[in-house]
């Protein structure tokens, strides 16, 4: 086994001169003020070893990474009928595009673009008030991370609600096609709040560890999903987790991953570890610029790509 802490230290040292590159997600006002110089990275192996570097214990807005957890919940509640409402194909379009949605009858391509995650939020809302559904999401993420301190940042949620006009358009569009069953404002309330979860790199790596360990959290021994479902969620992360940059991420990194416009990326090395990196500056696809590069360096130095060693 490679010296994982040394690898993280080296990656941090090599990227330090480039901290601040990329553009923060300034279209969400609260995120516009995040220090672009921040960089954190945490890696937790399936046997429980924790390695971290930089700002790994500072909470940040996980944004679209939360879509992995709401998809897991929707599959738990609705099983394979989930796919009647959302597809499993890469979009090839921007994460907030409405054009594809119109051409395809209001059914989003996958659960990780905004329209798809809004449809998943509608599924999670089934049988609940919005407040209950949001509480259920928070409890589930706390369960995964084994950490009851995880909370939603209300300032980020309010910021998204105040400026989320395009997401409102997507939701209304799907409602017009009969693809949402709850009132649009209720669905958007759930969506905006789960995207506003604040977590550290270490908490997020812990929460994603079940995907590296066949559906069971190896640190608690608690089963989350079946091994088949964990494998399939990983497959969707690999093919769809970085919007229209998913192919590039698979080519360069070769690990299932999910990014968020808060600058975080959760990556999974099946059978080995879960990794989170946070660097707020984004590339033109809306993925962390230095975070993607850090994971490329990690995969090359560990040989963890699912396609084989470098």
Look at residue 1 in the predicted model and tell me its pLDDT. Answer: 56
Question: Looking at the predicted structure, is the pLDDT value of residue 243 above 70?
Answer: yes
Token output for 123: 């599924």
Question: Looking at the predicted structure, is the pLDDT value of residue 255 above 70?
Answer: yes
**Of the residues 64, 66, 91, 121, which is catalytic?**
64
Q: For the residues 23-44, what does the mean pLDDT come to? A: 93
Q: What is the pLDDT of residues 270-285, one digit of tens each?
A: 999 999 999 999 999 8
**Of the residues 261, 268, 275, 277, which is catalytic?**
261
**Of the residues 243, 246, 259, 275, which is catalytic?**
243
Instruction: Please state, for a pLDDT cut of 70, what percent of the chain lies above it.
Output: 97
Q: For the residues 137-160, what does the mean pLDDT come to? A: 96
183-196: b (≥16 Cβ within 10 Å) or e: ebebbbbbbbbbbb
Question: Looking at the predicted structure, is the pLDDT value of residue 181 above 90?
Answer: yes
Q: For the residues 156-182, what does the mean pLDDT come to? A: 93
Q: Which band of pLDDT confidence, cut at 50, 70 and 90, is reported for residue 96?
A: low
Instruction: Write phi, then psi, for 275 (nearest 5 degrees).
Output: -135, 135
pTM of the entire predicted model:
0.96
Look at residue 24 in the predicted model and tell me its pLDDT. Answer: 94
Q: What is the pLDDT of residues 259-268, one digit of tens each?
A: 999 999 999 9
Q: How far apart are CA 18 and CA 34, in angstroms?
A: 17
306 is catalytic: no
Look at residue 26 in the predicted model and tell me its pLDDT. Answer: 86
Q: For the residues 237-259, what does the mean pLDDT come to? A: 96
67 is catalytic: yes
272 is catalytic: no
Q: For the residues 141-169, what does the mean pLDDT come to? A: 94
Q: For the residues 149-170, what does the mean pLDDT come to? A: 93
Partner residues linked to 282 by β-bridges: 23, 288
Q: Which band of pLDDT confidence, cut at 50, 70 and 90, is reported for residue 28?
A: confident
Instruction: Please state, for a pLDDT cut of 90, what percent of the chain lies above it.
Output: 87
**Of the residues 191, 224, 272, 288, which is catalytic?**
191
Lowest mean pLDDT among 35-44, 94-103, 122-131, 132-141: 94-103
Q: What is the pLDDT of residues 195-214, one digit of tens each?
A: 999 999 999 999 999 999 99
**Of the residues 24, 46, 56, 67, which is catalytic?**
67
Look at residue 27 in the predicted model and tell me its pLDDT. Answer: 83
């Amino acid at each position: 086994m490679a010296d994982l802490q040394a690898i993280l230290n080296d990656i941090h040292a090599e990227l330090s001169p480039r901290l601040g590159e990329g553009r923060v997600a300034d279209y969400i006002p609260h995120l516009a003020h995040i220090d672009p110089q921040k960089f954190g990275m945490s890696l937790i192996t399936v046997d429980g070893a924790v390695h971290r570097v930089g700002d790994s214990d500072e909470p940040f807005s996980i944004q679209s990474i939360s879509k992995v957890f709401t998809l897991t919940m929707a599959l738990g509640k609705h099983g394979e009928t989930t796919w009647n409402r959302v597809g499993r194909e890469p979009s090839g379009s921007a994460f907030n595009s409405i054009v594809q949605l119109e051409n395809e009858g209001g059914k989003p391509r996958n659960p990780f673009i905004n329209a798809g995650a809004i449809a998943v939020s509608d599924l999670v809302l089934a049988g609940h008030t919005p407040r209950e559904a949001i509480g259920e999401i928070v409890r589930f993420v706390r369960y995964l991370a084994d950490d009851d301190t995880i909370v939603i940042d209300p300032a980020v949620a309010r910021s998204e609600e105040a400026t989320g006009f395009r997401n409102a358009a997507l939701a209304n569009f799907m409602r017009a096609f009969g693809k949402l069953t709850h009132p649009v404002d209720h669905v958007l309330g759930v969506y905006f709040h789960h995207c506003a979860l604040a977590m550290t790199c270490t908490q997020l790596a812990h929460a994603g560890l079940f995907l590296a360990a066949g559906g069971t959290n190896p640190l608690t021994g608690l089963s989350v999903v079946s091994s088949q479902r964990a494998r399939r969620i990983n497959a969707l992360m690999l093919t769809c987790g970085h919007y229209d940059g998913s192919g590039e991420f698979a080519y360069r990194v070769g690990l299932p991953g999910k990014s968020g416009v808060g600058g975080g990326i959760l990556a999974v090395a099946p059978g080995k570890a879960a990794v989170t990196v946070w660097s707020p500056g984004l590339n033109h696809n809306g993925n962390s610029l230095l975070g993607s590069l850090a994971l490329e360096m990690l995969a090359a130095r560990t040989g963890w790509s699912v396609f084989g060693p470098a």
